[in-house]
Each structure stands twice: as structure tokens, then as C-alpha cells.
Structure 1
């Protein structure tokens, strides 16, 4: 089914990964030509505390690398299936968990998530990013919704909308965090204060030991509220029990209109070739417009900006027959090379309208990345525990949802970590028909933060 355009997208997460920082403006996406390998742009950190620019740039690289590593792990269970997830949601939740890790547990988590910044500097940077996104959301409230773009064939209207009512702001991005602790468990006050200070995650006391089902329902209700009821039953029945001591949650809401909307009149069914070679007609949008575009060894790249001017969708279309080899070899440097090669050209774009829902347990993917002790009795979360109590991560649950249509993008995800004790002028026109497997990610341009990642390889289920 095609998701209802009015569907509110959001993202909720708990426990996963690295990403912080503040970068220069979006139009400073440049690279140092003297470098042997392409790198992400130099960053200007403008929030407190003062963080070394070089260290912050390495942290941003680590964030992107982790998102690619998770993508590689998640696709192994369904190499022929579409998938979608939010590395940002995972990052914030896991950073909150990392704040309580000690010893080898902290070392493994830091290495797996490629943390460069340390101690409170890391969490202050996460807090700065959360504040930055909140400002992005406030700024987006003043962004006007665009009109449908001309598709290059006379189908479009650059004037006022006729007979259409505004259907909400053109851009929304908000994030919220919460920690759910058992009312009888002695959590360290310093740990709770740190999460409140940098993540705004006030402690909510629940009775896991006496009423785990009631606690589960309360957490799910919070998630539903933060996601406008679009993420339901994040924690399934039985996911928390009498041994549960802590659940960490992060919620992010994302809704963005394109800077130049596609004209619905130009949308038509066209063949899409899936990874297994089968061909399916899918509703495909068309637009001819000046966009940032690159062709590197036959692999095409296009960037579709959203109306607020600070976020975009990047679409990576590997050369025909080379999707799997391209995906397997995609690295931070290779991605940066395509960013560097991009120029503003007039792109005749054909792009499928699509929706994807995904659901994962992230325990095995994280363990494969080297985060093992956090999931068993060897764990050391001494920074969050009081007295001689011990906890470990029992599960990391992630759900996600994306819809892409003529007006823009809605994206949602939810993650919960359950912890238990015991255990320029165009120079040419190019064509880009996204009619075969492709990758895409939604990024915050000023900070180079990957908010969402996805892969589309199966046309038959693309628009169910």
C-alpha cells in the first residue's frame, strides 16, 4: 500500500551509535584537493564546549562509517529486500547508554561506534546537535510550501497553488529522549543528571518488577505520542519482564517538502528492475531541474534538497549490473568522492514514488561490529548503577518507516534499548532513471549527519 500523505513520520530510538557536531553552512560542501583521498568538509564548531575541529571532523567521519557498517549488517538477513533505518536514532540512544559504560564494555562500544570525542565532550556535542535540530525545526516553521515543479515538458506550475489548501509546515524535525527506570533500582544520580543535562532525558520511574506489562504499555504510549501514533507497540509483548531495570528511548520526527515538488501529472508507471532481475511497473515521478549531480565510473549521484535548504536526500544509483559490488565497497571515502565530484547540472530525473517499513533486532548487528560485552554478564555499566547492582543490554529493537512522493518525504523510526539485571550554471543536460536497485540517505547538510539510510532492491513490494 502507499502510505497516506498525511501520515506523520517520526523516529524513535534507544541505544546505538555515534554522531555529533556542528558543521559549516550547506553550501560549503567542498573538499581539500591536496588530500590523497576525499574527505568531508572542514567543520566550524560553534557551540559550547569548544571541541577541536579536527577531532570533530573525525567524529563525523566515524558517524557516517557506522551508518554504512550497520547497513551492511542489516542487509545480510534479507539481501533481496528493501530496508530502511535511522542511524541517528540509534546513535543518540546508544550514546546515552555509553554514558554509563565502563572498562572493556565502554572500550568495545566506543570502538564499534567509532567514538573519537570522549567523556562529557562527547555528550555535550550530542546535546549541541539536539539543540541544532530543534533550531532547524523552529526555522522550518517559517518555510513556505513550494509549488509543483515543471517536469521539463510543460507539465507544472511555478505560480500559486490553485484549489489547494496548505497541509502543514514544509519542514519539521524534532527530537525527544526519555529514560525509564525501575522504581526500586538504585541508579547512579550522576548518570541520570548527565542524561538530563545533555539529552533532556528526564527519568521516568516505572514498576518493571511488579507490573512489567503496565510499564511496557506506558513506554509504548510515550512512543506513540512522540510519533503522532504512527509507531505503535514498539516494545512487543514479552519484551520487558520482572528482570528489566532500564529502557532508553529517543524519538525524532521528520517531515519535509521538496524544495521543488514533483508535478503529480507527470507521474506514470514505468518498469523497475529488481535485484533478482524481475521487472515491475512502479509509479515514477519526473522532473527536469538544476540539481547537484555526479557520474563516477557509471555510478550516478543526485541530491534532492528539501524546502528548508538545510536537509536533502542523496540518491546513489550504481551502474547497471553493479549494485551488489558497489554496495559492498561503499565507504566514507567513496561517498565523499561522489560528493566532491557533484556539480550543478540540469538533470532529467525519473524517480519512483515509494514506501518502506522495516523492523529489526540490532543485537547481532552490533555484536558483529564488536560490541559484545554489553549484551551479557561480562558487561560493565558501573556508571549508571548504584550499590553493587549489575545490568546488561537484553535487546535493541528498531522499527522504521519512509514515504517518498511528489510533495516530499516523511520518515519515521523507533528504537528501544531494554536493559536487565541478571543477566552553478548547467553545462549539460543529463538523464537519470532510477529504474533499478539504488541506495539513498537523508542528511542534515550543515552537520553532515546521516538521519536515515535505505536501500531499494525489490520493485514488486515497493508500492504495496
Structure 2
């Protein structure tokens, strides 16, 4: 039996606002967002051993794999459903994604932020996919479908897909596929997300000053710290401070989690506790108050990185094994397997707001008045490694997640 590839690309970017109520979403979509956050934390747990800065889009990875899951059967589907924290029903999974995507379309239409999400399929000419499968991904994921030639015109095909990703991410993800596609590639699936917006309260550039950022085992580095005192949702626990920075429209926000001390162990302790339930609990404890905030400007590109090993460790194994993988829901045959899952992400945070992009590629092979003066506001001084995430406030869906170990990298 000849071995063929199926490749799935995902590109993601983020900005700074949303404007749609969660009440307009089906409960199943809100449930998918919540369980998807558990997948986000599971994946973070697998990636946290990576040295230095970390940044990825769990929503991008989940979306791309959801389109692949749509063609999975048997044990392959069961493993993917469990690892990705999808509902037991395939129908519910895909309809819930459709509702989330509609929600994000409405956010983009509000003009408060740029939030563009696009999906596409690039099947090999002469290797037809089942109409039921194509109809499902068109209906639920709005996927564009374009036939290409991986066998005799690989360079042009790769360039065309890379250009699509670059266009959908406003140029932030370039050359996602640097290596040539194998001649047995039969399908490439691509998810692209771009998000850009503005802080609700922008920082004044003339207040940005250089200061020390403490890196764990290395000398401190000089970093540009943005500064302002304003009202933020804030909470301080015994081992960390939590602050939520809203974007214009208050529908998206950045949650920053700062360990109470500067040691590596302090950050690792928080990383071990990450879960959708824990994040929700932290956010519930946060109250709006005046906070003196110092946050470093940072910009990073993370990847391209293979996610095969992390996904295998989480329990998604059969999808990568020839003669065990079952993606017969795509083409009617058990001759496809995932050969790789590649993710690449970009983020920049500055005085005006944030911008980010990411890309993931999955390859499948055929095979009151106080009596005393008021107390000074608490100080949130992010001058040592911290965790941050971008969430849709309406659903709680984590769009992006990462940590800053060195803002100068």
C-alpha cells in the first residue's frame, strides 16, 4: 500500500477586542470553549519544558485538529476526542465549533478589533475526498477547498499555501512550510487566525523607561517597561499576582500571572496548577481596583515546532501509526495517517496593544469615605518571568497562551 500525506496548517493572530455576548452562543459552544481550555493547559504542560519563552495558540491547534477529527473513525477518533477534550458526539463538536466561529465573526464585524479566522483544504488533484466530509468542513468551518498538485508541481503548491497563510495572518507567519511536501501528500488542511487590537487604556510612550528584568540563572537584562496607574481587575494570592488588561470593547483581555518571587521554582509551581477550572477560579477572585502596573514590552516568534510528541504523550497515538490510523471518513479508505503537526506563533505587546499570529501544520500520510488617607495602590511589577494568556471574555476561550522568560529574546 502506498503511503500518502495529509497536511494540516493552522495560522493564528490576535488583537485587542471583542463585542458579543455569550448569551447568544449555544451552551454546547460555551462548554467546548471551557473543555478546550483544559486541552490548552494539557498542551502547555507538555511544552513547558521548552527552554526560554513560549507562545502558542491552543485554539488554532484545536481547530486544525478538529477538521482532521471530522474524518477520523474508530479508535483513532476516540483518542482524538479524549485528548482534545471534544464532546462525545462528532456532530456536537463540529456544530459547537461553527457557533464559536460565528461568534468570532461577529466580534470582527463590530470593528472593535481585527479577528480574522480562516480555514482551507488543499487536496491533491485526482485524489477525491468524500462529499460528506467536504460538506461538513464547508458548513461548520467555512473551509475553502482548492485542488493542487503535490506530485508534479510541489514548489508552486507549497508557495501557494505559504502565501495563503501569510495573507491571512497579515504577513506575520511567513514560510510556514519551509521543507518540500512529500510526493505522497494528498491533503493539506490550514487554519489561519489573525487578531489585532488596542488596549482599553493605552500606555503613554513617554512613560516607558528602561529597567532590569530578572532572568532566572543569568544576569538581569535591560527591558523597556510600560507604566501606568489605572483601574484593573486584580487579585493577589499567596504565590502569585493576577491582573487582567482589557482590550478596547472589553470583550477580550490579557491575563498576566506573576509569581510572587523571582525563582524558576515559583513559576513552575503555577504552571503545574494550570487548568480551565483554576483559571476560572482566579478570574472570579479578581476585583476592579487601582493598580500601579509595570509591564515589559516584548515580541517573540515561537516555532516552527512539531507537536507530534506532545500529542502522543497526551494519548493521541493511533493517528500517527500506519495501519492503525483510521481517517476513512475523508476518502473512504484507511490509507491516511498524520505524519506531523507543526505550529508556529508570533506575538508583540507594546504601548498601544497587542498583535499576534500563529501557524500549525498537521501532516497525514496515506498510510464609603475613609477615616484615614487611602492606601497606595498595589504594585504589579512584571520584572521577572510570567505567564500570560489572551481570552475571549464572553466564552472564556483561550486564544493564545505563553510565558515570558526574557523579553529581550
Is the CA contact 2:327–2:334 (under 8 Å) kept in the aligned structure 1?
no
Please give the secondary structure, in 1, of the residue aligned with 2:331.
Answer: coil
After TM superposition, the structure 1 stretch with the greater mean CA deviation from structure 2, 362-371 or 271-280, is 271-280
Is the CA contact 2:172–2:356 (under 8 Å) kept in the aligned structure 1?
no
Q: Which residue, 323, 328, 340 being the options, matches 2:267?
A: 323
- 1:398 aligned residue: 343
1:308 Cα deviation after fit: 2.3
- 2:137 aligned residue: 195
Q: Which residue, 67, 81, 87 being the options, matches 2:58?
A: 87
Taking the TM superposition and a 5 Å limit, the aligned residue runs for 1:420-459 are: 420-422=365-367, 429-458=377-406
Q: 1:124 to 1:15 in 2, by over 3 A?
A: farther
Corresponding pairs, count? 388
Could you tell me the TM-score, scaled by structure 1's length?
Answer: 0.79
Please give the secondary structure, in 1, of the residue aligned with 2:86.
Answer: coil
Determine whether 1:385 maps to 2:326: no
Gaps of 5+ in 2: 1-7, 13-17
Mapped partners of 2:11, 2:64: distance in 1: 3
Is the CA contact 1:296–1:338 (under 8 Å) kept in the aligned structure 2?
no
Is the CA contact 1:318–1:326 (under 8 Å) kept in the aligned structure 2?
yes
Taking the TM superposition and a 5 Å limit, the aligned residue runs for 1:368-379 are: 368-377=313-322, 378-379=324-325
Mapped partners of 1:434, 1:235: distance in 2: 35
Is the CA contact 1:397–1:415 (under 8 Å) kept in the aligned structure 2?
yes
Mapped partners of 1:229, 1:289: distance in 2: 33
Mapped partners of 2:35, 2:9: distance in 1: 19
Mapped partners of 1:417, 1:258: distance in 2: 33
Please give the secondary structure, in 2, of the residue aligned with 1:396.
Answer: strand
Q: Which has the higher contact order (CA 8 A, sep 6+)?
A: 2
The Cα offsets for residues 80-101 of structure 1, whole Å up to 9 and x where unpaired, read as x101111111111111010000
- 1:205 aligned residue: 147
Instruction: Choose between structure 1 and 2: higher helix proportion.
Output: 2
- 1:186 aligned residue: 128
Q: 1:15 to 1:269 in 2, by over 3 A?
A: closer
1:356 Cα deviation after fit: 1.1
Please give the secondary structure, in 2, of the residue aligned with 1:185.
Answer: coil
Mapped partners of 1:329, 1:337: distance in 2: 12
Q: Which residue, 305, 311, 329 being the options, matches 2:246?
A: 305
- 1:133 aligned residue: 104
After TM superposition, the structure 1 stretch with the greater mean CA deviation from structure 2, 60-69 or 432-441, is 60-69
Determine whether 1:14 maps to 2:10: yes
- 2:162 aligned residue: 220
1:337 Cα deviation after fit: 2.1
Q: 1:76 to 1:412 in 2, by over 3 A?
A: same
Is the CA contact 2:214–2:383 (under 8 Å) kept in the aligned structure 1?
yes
Determine whether 1:354 maps to 2:286: no
Is the CA contact 2:185–2:364 (under 8 Å) kept in the aligned structure 1?
yes
1:332 Cα deviation after fit: 2.5
Please give the secondary structure, in 2, of the residue aligned with 1:14.
Answer: strand
The Cα offsets for residues 137-194 of structure 1, whole Å up to 9 and x where unpaired, read as 110x2x4xxxxxxxxxxxxxxxxxxxxxxxxxxx211111001111121311100110
- 1:231 aligned residue: 173
1:225 Cα deviation after fit: 1.5
Taking the TM superposition and a 5 Å limit, the aligned residue runs for 1:46-57 are: 46-47=24-25, 53=27, 57=30
Is the CA contact 1:287–1:349 (under 8 Å) kept in the aligned structure 2?
yes
1:276 Cα deviation after fit: 2.1
Taking the TM superposition and a 5 Å limit, the aligned residue runs for 1:146-157 are: none
Q: Which residue, 105, 116, 123 being the options, matches 1:174?
A: 116
After TM superposition, the structure 1 stretch with the greater mean CA deviation from structure 2, 229-238 or 402-411, is 229-238
1:278 Cα deviation after fit: 2.8
Mapped partners of 1:214, 1:419: distance in 2: 20
Is the CA contact 1:15–1:248 (under 8 Å) kept in the aligned structure 2?
no
- 1:102 aligned residue: 73
- 1:124 aligned residue: 95
Mapped partners of 1:228, 1:316: distance in 2: 29
- 1:366 aligned residue: 311
Determine whether 1:279 maps to 2:220: yes
Q: 1:380 to 1:389 in 2, by over 3 A?
A: closer
Mapped partners of 2:315, 2:185: distance in 1: 24
What's the RMSD between the two structures over aligned residues? 2.3
Mapped partners of 1:24, 1:295: distance in 2: 29
Mapped partners of 1:14, 1:120: distance in 2: 22
Mapped partners of 2:164, 2:11: distance in 1: 17
Mapped partners of 2:375, 2:162: distance in 1: 52
Mapped partners of 1:59, 1:202: distance in 2: 24
Is the CA contact 1:14–1:94 (under 8 Å) kept in the aligned structure 2?
no
